[in-house]
Structure 1
Amino acid sequence: MSEPLTTKQAIHHIKPSELESFVHRILVGNGVTEKHASTVADCLVQADLRGVDTHGSNRIPSYMQRIRQKVLDPSASPELQEITPVAALVDGKNAFGFVSAHLAMQKAIKMAEVFGLGLVSVKNSNHFGMSAWLVQQAIDAGMMSLVFTNSSPALPVWGGKSKLMGVSPIACGAPAGNERPFILDMAPSVAARGKIYKALRRGEKIPTDWALDSEGNMTDDPAKALEGVMLPMGGPKGSALAIMMDVFSGVFSGSAFAGNVTGPYDPSKPADVGHFLMAIKPDLFVSLDDFKDRMDYLYQRVVGSDKMGGVDRIYYPGEIEQITREKRLLEGIPFTELEIESLNKEAELVGVEKLQYGV
């Protein structure tokens, strides 16, 4: 029998529009421009709506702490440099990763509209939250996409025992016709590191196959897991995917790589994260109508597959998150009271209206 929830663990549902307005106020109060605050707030709330709570508004306290530590520049404006007609470079200038990546995908889409594809490398950036929002940005423009990033060390290479590679997400997507679009967004680890931070905030245990403690032992304690290392999915396969993210995002862009990306709780220096984004026109080889029909057929074949024992429904990549978004748009986004209090402390620090709940 499960233990009853404490007051601090009780769940409250917040309207998405109220949450986005709240996050925007905190960002502006910390020196972020109105335009950039709108981008960051929208991206964080989109993660919350999709159920990716680890990359949503709960990240605000850690982001604001980096601003206070002067290792993230809230007022910086990324600079775009065209390299070729289909390639560009964004210097993030240590601004929010959301802002740099959003600019990069905008440029990639514009190039793809003219030349069929566009790729943009980003350097001197920061964490950009949930990769799926960039994939969605491309889908909304009718584009296929690839979205890579590197991140601070959290994962050992296969056969090693110390942190070297980041738990860096691999994301891609493609639009469809009448069915749901294809959206893949996954970490090369057994679980995203943000899920461990979430478990720590909520006083929960984690599965023992997610991470090792500092002694190299499996643990269900999120605090000990954060002192140790994440485990790669599929052993050497997950390790190789993490290295691939470093090649395309770090080595290629001129940003930090090989374990040198600064961690989100390390105030010693800027993160220097690198990203790689590509937009592709879906009708390069077949007509757009044909492409959409083919994507719809793929969706139908996947979700209509014969089910193994105990399975009630087969989901397409990204479908569960899209269903969650539809539900949360109606019901609100769930937060524990402890999480809301943490966010409201940030509101207090800059003297803006707090997030209301329980009324």
Structure 2
Amino acid sequence: MYHVSDSNARAFVEQVLVGNGVPKHNAIIVARCLVEADLRGVDTHGMNRIPSYMARIREGVLDAQASPTIRRISPAVAQVDGHNGFGFLAAHVGMAAAVDMAKNIGIGMVSVKHSNHFGMSAWVVQQALDAGMMSLVFTNSSPALPVWGGKSKLMGVSPIAAGAPAGKSGRPFIVDMAPSVAARGKIYKALRRGDKIPGEWALDKDGHRTDNPAKALEGVMLPMGGPKGSAIAIMMDVFSGVFSGSAFAGHVTNPYDPSKPADVGHFLVAIKPDLFMIIEEFKKRMDYLYQRVVGSNKMSGVDRIYFPGEIEDLNKEKRLRDGIPLVEAEIRALNEEAKRARVAALVATPLPVKTHL
């Protein structure tokens, strides 16, 4: 294992992006979003995505130079066209517009079309939190799991995310979850690292449970809670794909498929938390909720109860201090991209080997 500081990681990602034709101001946004995922422990959606993104640029199915445009529909509604650029950029512009509208009239809603994968949804939620806003963040994605009762890939493992500002506890509410038992990125991570996966995550192409990540990627993910997870995946397609005018019903292109643009859709909402009470009262109520959750009576074997998003916040605190962990194969893949872009290699420090007396 190696570790990389967050500043080195951001600088590295920025220069690889710029070396592949991404304008500097856009590269800064993408790099910040990717490294934020690494800091929060969501390694499946961090800088390890760079090789697949750069491959799509080289294959001509992701426009490195594209910047999103926005069209205001009403005082509370806008639409962003991602123009087949990075999803991070389209979502960033969309949430900024939603926040701006919410500041003025209490709520802002933005539909995003013709976008791409935007990594970890929690960074979009955090953008709203930084502006003092509650939020909802939806996206659709390429087929990976069957609808309940089916056996073929149709719906994406499209995350649903939401957030609300913290009170005195300092821990905001952040939920970011896929409708599958596990995020598909965790299977790609296991494949990269040569690990097995839990047998309840996926089926192989013949419909059998598997702990082999390669076979799982040939098959289907399993929805969490059976029909409940399936319904959430369909809901993401309704609000993100059908509503926006982007691809839907199984037609979003896989980010590892070089045949055509992904055409992903997103749906973003920002809400002022003091619409129905003064902000101090809202935060007081959030504090009470936090204390009730983390102070709940624990089941056998549980040492601590966490508020949604708290574990990721703790990961970030640790990784800001100790660095982002990577394995050698991941560093090698990233430095292959640095070589292609003719930029400096990623600076990584080996973790000390533990000895046992």
Would you call these one fold, judging by a TM-score over 0.5?
Answer: yes
Q: Which residue of 1 aligns with 2:82?
A: 92
Q: What does 1:12-161 align with in structure 2 at a 5 Å threshold?
A: 12-161=2-151
Taking every aligned residue pair, what percent have the same amino acid on both sides?
72
The answer as to 2:289 corresponding to 1:312 is no
Q: Match for 1:203: what amino acid? A: G
Q: Match for 2:101: what amino acid? A: M
Q: Which residue of 2 aligns with 1:289?
A: 280
Find the residue that maps to 2:72 and give its secondary structure.
strand
* Equivalent residue for 2:251, pick from 241, 246, 260: 260
Partners of 1:350 and 1:310 in 2: how far apart?
50
Q: Which residue of 2 aligns with 1:346?
A: 337
The answer as to 2:188 corresponding to 1:190 is no
Q: Normalised by the size of structure 2, how large is the TM-score? A: 0.97
Deviations, residues 96-117 of structure 1 (Å, cap 9, x unaligned): 0000000000000000000100
Partners of 1:308 and 1:77 in 2: how far apart?
50
- Name which of structure 1's ranges 185-194 and 263-272 shifts more when overlaid on structure 2: 263-272
Deviations, residues 106-132 of structure 1 (Å, cap 9, x unaligned): 000000000100000000000000000
Partners of 2:58 and 2:125 in 1: how far apart?
31
User: Cα offset for 1:218?
Assistant: 0.1
Partners of 2:18 and 2:349 in 1: how far apart?
26
CA RMSD of superposed structures (Å)? 0.6
Q: Which residue of 1 aligns with 2:199?
A: 208
Q: Match for 1:44: what amino acid? A: L
Find the residue that maps to 1:158 and give its secondary structure.
coil
Partners of 1:252 and 1:299 in 2: how far apart?
34
User: Cα offset for 1:356?
Assistant: 2.1
Q: What does 1:201-280 align with in structure 2 at a 5 Å threshold?
A: 201-280=192-271
Find the residue that maps to 1:325 and give its secondary structure.
helix
Task: Mark the runs of 5 or more structure 1 residues left unpaired by the alignment.
Answer: 1-10
User: Cα offset for 1:12?
Assistant: 0.4
Q: Match for 2:92: what amino acid? A: H
Matched residue pairs, number?
Answer: 349
* Equivalent residue for 1:162, pick from 149, 152, 157: 152
Contact 2:4 2:349 in 1 (8 A): no
Partners of 2:259 and 2:253 in 1: how far apart?
8
Partners of 1:299 and 1:177 in 2: how far apart?
9
User: Cα offset for 1:185?
Assistant: 0.2
User: Cα offset for 1:176?
Assistant: 1.5
Q: Which residue of 2 aligns with 1:4?
A: none
Partners of 1:75 and 1:334 in 2: how far apart?
30
Q: Normalised by the size of structure 1, how large is the TM-score? A: 0.97
Task: Mark the runs of 5 or more structure 2 residues left unpaired by the alignment.
Answer: 351-357
Partners of 2:97 and 2:199 in 1: how far apart?
42
Q: Which residue of 2 aligns with 1:3?
A: none
Q: Match for 1:43: what amino acid? A: C
Partners of 1:268 and 1:202 in 2: how far apart?
27
* Equivalent residue for 1:173, pick from 134, 141, 163: 163
Q: Which residue of 1 aligns with 2:354?
A: none
Partners of 2:264 and 2:142 in 1: how far apart?
8
Find the residue that maps to 1:276 and give its secondary structure.
strand
Deviations, residues 316-343 of structure 1 (Å, cap 9, x unaligned): 0000000000000000000001100100
Q: Match for 1:233: what amino acid? A: M
Find the residue that maps to 2:336 and give its secondary structure.
helix
Partners of 2:349 and 2:283 in 1: how far apart?
45
Contact 2:63 2:84 in 1 (8 A): yes
Partners of 2:294 and 2:69 in 1: how far apart?
43
User: Cα offset for 1:274?
Assistant: 0.1
Find the residue that maps to 1:216 and give its secondary structure.
coil
Partners of 1:148 and 1:222 in 2: how far apart?
26
Deviations, residues 154-184 of structure 1 (Å, cap 9, x unaligned): 0100000000000000000000221110000
Find the residue that maps to 2:78 and give its secondary structure.
strand
User: Cα offset for 1:357?
Assistant: 2.4
